[in-house]
Amino acid sequence: MVERSNFSLDVDANAGGLAISEQRRLNEWFAAMDLGYGDRVSIDDPLASTATKQAVADIAARYGLLVSDGAPVTNGLVNPGRARIVVTRTSATVPGCPDWATVPPSTSTCHQ
């Protein structure tokens, strides 16, 4: 079973990019999201500002990620002067498959 989730953060942005305070806020959000391998970062920016994209790309690069072209559809409009940063996270599970992470080592049937 594959599940995809979108998480978004709206930031103040203009043609000149993101203010330092917004860059800090975005970095803190990425850290709280535990952003990493497998996540997709994209931007919905009505102004299509190169400076905003570059600022987001610089922060995403700290987590080893690139900014993808084209953002998924999210609820609500993004007004000019704002940009929506979207993190898309995909997870896969197999129903009925045991989760060995929850089995105490002493009861495991695996041999060392």
User: Residue 37: which CATH number?
Assistant: 3.30.1330.60
Q: Is 108 domain-assigned?
A: no
Within-domain flag for 53:
yes
The amino acid sitting at 57 is A
Whether residue 44 is contained in a domain is answered as yes
pLDDT digits (tens, 9 = 90+) for 20-56: 999 999 999 999 999 999 999 999 999 999 999 999 9
Sign of the CA dihedral running 25, 64, 41, 55: positive
| Residue 59: domain span | 2-93
Residue 101 lies in a domain: no
Whose structure tokens read 């990425």? 30
Mean pLDDT over all residues of the chain?
Answer: 89
Residue 96, number of CB atoms within 10 A of its CB:
5
Is the distance from CB of 26 to CB of 18 less than 8 angstroms?
Answer: yes
Q: Determine the pLDDT at residue 104.
A: 65
User: pTM of the entire structure?
Assistant: 0.80
Total domains in the fold of the chain: 1
- Asked if residue 106 belongs to a domain, the reply is no
DSSP helix/strand/coil, 70:
coil
